Amino acid sequence: MRKKRAQWIPVVAGLIKKNDEVLLGKRPEGLSLAGVWEFPGGKIEPGEHPQSALKRELAEELGINATVGSLKFSTTHSYGETNILLLFYAIPFWQGEPRTKHHESLKWTKISDLEKQELPEANRKALSDILQALNEMG
């Protein structure tokens, strides 16, 4: 019998940095991973360019008009049946002040405190890449 093909979900996330802080959003009740602090972003729709997907997600979730910069790194994670491919982008500029349109709350977190946060497992695994990317963003 042929093995069932794995299901992959591509996800984009934005690194939004201000001075020595980065923006995190608390995932709302009712969604998978409720209560953990994620980097704003979401799933790429079929046919959508990854950077366009992130610009759309940041408008929907935070109400900002973001300039999506370069791809900093990528990682994968398996949640049981579901596999995600996570693409992290730098957000060098944005217009508007991030507002809570989707998350339970938003917070600017000191980069040095990132490892103390309750992060999705996929992000915790990639913490050294996240910290390096944030460092490179100046």
**Which of 18, 43, 99, 110 is the binder for ligand DGT (CB under 6 A)?**
43
At 96, the amino acid letter reads G
Binding to ligand DGT by CB under 6 A, coded x per residue (else -) over 104-133, reads ----------------x-xx----------
34 scored as a contact of ligand DGT (CB under 6 A): no
The CB-nearest residue to ligand DGT is 42
Tell me which residue has tokens 């999705």: 120
Nearest CB to ligand DGT, comparing residues 56 and 67: 56
Nearest CB to ligand DGT, comparing residues 28 and 96: 28
Q: Distance between alpha carbon 98 and the CA centroid of its chain, in Å?
A: 14
Q: How far apart are CA 3 and CA 27, in angstroms?
A: 34
Cβ atoms of 100 and 138 within 8 Å: the answer is no
Cβ atoms of 80 and 9 within 8 Å: the answer is no
Q: How far apart are CA 103 and CA 77, in angstroms?
A: 22
59 scored as a contact of ligand DGT (CB under 6 A): no
Buried b / exposed e across 35-47, counting CB within 10 Å, b at 16+? ebbbbbbbebeee
33 scored as a contact of ligand DGT (CB under 6 A): yes
Nearest CB to ligand DGT, comparing residues 98 and 120: 120
Residues that bind ligand DGT (CB under 6 A): 11, 13, 31-33, 38-39, 41-43, 84, 86, 120, 122-123
